[in-house]
């Protein structure tokens, strides 16, 4: 059974803290994505990666960075968390060969106080 | 860039009735249109998709139609059941490989028993 796991379901941080959100997939997928989900706005792409050590900006990269040192792991970093980064964060992965389906993790609900 | 609109934002139907969710997109180059279902506490999951060379696709109780000229596509759910209650997202691809999407804002469907 395909699986995307995220390190935390719920996270509470303080303004200015450095925050790491981890995502691991066990499907040997080349592509990995980070989205944030806000009511009425749908899913907005923050960063994506098509290969190890490769990263591309999505629609809303400001205030975020990413790291992909291994194929199965994609990390989202909030260098200095702010209250407007309170949101649900979803990680997804997909295969480059055959099909376009993105497989999503369960999400991390981050609250920045 | 691509913009995807989705209507309605909320939809309530009686069990057994049909539900229709409509999306429009702006970029005529988009060629892949998936629909994702997100149940409470879970990540979105692909339920059906359609490519630009096809006008309609059906899978049991769900179907998707695409009108390329008008740049809109719709999700049809027949004989709705309580387990169809969820948030539904449409999306349109924004790259040539169909690996990257812009999502609509979502529709919360409630199926009333």
- How many angstroms separate the CA of residue B53 from the nearest CA in chain A? 15
Cβ distance A104 to B104 less than 8 Å, yes or no, reads: no
> From B43, which residue of chain A is nearest by alpha-carbon distance?
A106
Q: What is the mean pLDDT of residues A64-77?
A: 97
| Separation in Å, CA B106 to CA A29, A96, A98, B6 | 26, 26, 27, 7
Cβ distance B43 to A107 less than 8 Å, yes or no, reads: yes
Cα atoms in the 13 Å half-sphere on the side-chain side of B30? 30
Spatial distance between the Cα atoms of A31 and B100, rounded to a whole number of angstroms = 10
Predicted confidence at residue B2, as pLDDT, reads 86
* Residue B21 structure tokens: 């969710």
Predicted confidence at residue B96, as pLDDT, reads 67
Predicted confidence at residue B98, as pLDDT, reads 64
Residue of A75, A50, A48 lying closest to A59 (CA atoms) = A48
Q: A71-102, pLDDT tens digit by residue?
A: 999 999 999 999 999 999 999 999 886 567 89
Helix, coil or strand: residue B77: strand
Q: A5-45, pLDDT tens digit by residue?
A: 999 999 999 999 999 999 999 999 999 999 999 998 999 99
> From A40, which residue of chain B is nearest by alpha-carbon distance?
B105
Q: Does B106 touch chain A (CB under 8 A)?
A: yes
* Burial A51-64, CB ≥16 within 10 A → b, else e: eeeebeebeeeeeb
pLDDT in tens, chain B (113 residues): 889 999 999 999 999 999 999 999 999 989 899 999 999 999 999 999 998 888 999 999 999 999 999 999 999 999 999 999 999 999 998 876 667 889 999 999 999 99
């Amino acid at each position: 059974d395909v699986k995307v796991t995220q390190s935390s379901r719920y996270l509470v941080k303080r303004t200015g803290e450095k925050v790491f959100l981890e995502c691991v997939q066990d499907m040997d997928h080349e592509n990995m994505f980070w989205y944030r989900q806000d009511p009425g706005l749908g899913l907005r792409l923050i960063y994506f990666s098509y290969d190890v050590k490769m990263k591309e900006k999505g629609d809303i990269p400001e205030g975020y960075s990413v790291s992909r040192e291994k194929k199965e792991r994609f990390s989202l970093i909030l260098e200095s968390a702010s209250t407007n980064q309170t949101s649900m964060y979803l990680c997804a992965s997909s295969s480059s060969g055959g099909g376009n389906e993105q497989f999503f993790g369960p999400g991390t609900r981050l609250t920045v106080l | 860039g691509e913009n995807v609109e989705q209507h309605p934002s909320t939809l309530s139907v009686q069990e057994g009735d049909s539900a229709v969710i409509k999306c429009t997109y702006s970029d005529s180059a988009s060629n892949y249109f998936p629909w994702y279902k997100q149940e409470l506490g879970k990540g979105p999951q692909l339920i059906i998709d359609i490519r630009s060379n096809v006008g309609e696709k059906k899978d049991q109780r769900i179907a998707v139609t695409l009108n390329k000229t008008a740049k809109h596509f719709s999700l049809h759910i027949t004989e709705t059941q309580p387990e169809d209650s969820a948030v539904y997202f449409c999306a349109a691809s924004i790259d040539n490989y169909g690996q990257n999407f812009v999502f609509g804002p979502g529709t919360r469907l409630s199926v009333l028993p």
